[in-house]
Amino acid sequence: MANFVKIVIFGALNAGKTTFLESASKKKLSVKGSYEGMTTSLDFTQLNYNGKTVHLFTTPGHRRFDFMWEVLANGMNGAILLIDSTVGITEVDREIEGLIESKGVPYVVAVNKSDLANLSLEIVREGLGISAKVPVIPTSAIYGNGVEVVLHRLMELENERRGTEQGIE
């Protein structure tokens, strides 16, 4: 078993994935996989969370780079789906949620940019068609609001999954 946890941050174009990653790691990335402000490859950082090494990746949100969603999803232990609350639920969000769901890993939906718009968490849940078991948490990555809550909840879900896999209840 790997001695790290791989988490991938997914979301549509301009949902705030890179900003979320920087907020989570509490540092600005020195190298970003972007061109003119749009992520075109991936962003990566490593952090320590309660003694566990976490590899945190972001995916590009632009449809022309959607092949990378599957590449980065390979081997992930958990996922964060970032929704841009100023835009609402998009077809890209639904497609990404389907990919994450198909991988059978725990995930959290982060409703980002909550400082700019108040998108109802129930509308998000209904728009994505997700069960009440999936946490939906408002965030503002630029201010750091809710970012640690999302990571904490996802790590709890991952620990529960690992415990179940190892026969620990």
CA distance 146 to 62: 25
CA distance 126 to 122: 6
DSSP three-state, residue 6: strand
Sheet containing strand 52-58, strands side by side: 43-49, 52-58, 4-11, 78-84, 107-112, 136-138
Q: How confident is the model at residue 168 (pLDDT cuts 50, 70, 90)?
A: very low
The separation between CA 30 and the C-alpha centre of its own chain, rounded to angstroms, equals 21
pLDDT at position 154, please?
Answer: 97
CA distance 3 to 30: 25
- Domains of the chain (ranges, CATH numbers): 4-165 (3.40.50.300)
Say which amino acid occupies 47: L
The separation between CA 15 and the C-alpha centre of its own chain, rounded to angstroms, equals 10
pLDDT at position 56, please?
Answer: 95
Most trustworthy range by pLDDT among 27-36, 76-85, 160-169: 76-85
Strand partners, 53: 4, 48
DSSP per-residue codes, 7-67: EEEEESTTSSHHHHHHHHHTS--SS--EETTEESS-EEEEEEETTEEEEEEE---SGGGTH
**Residue-wise pLDDT tens digits, 8-65:** 999 998 999 999 999 999 887 655 555 565 555 578 889 998 888 999 999 988 787 8
Q: What is the mean pLDDT of the chain?
A: 89
CA distance 56 to 145: 18
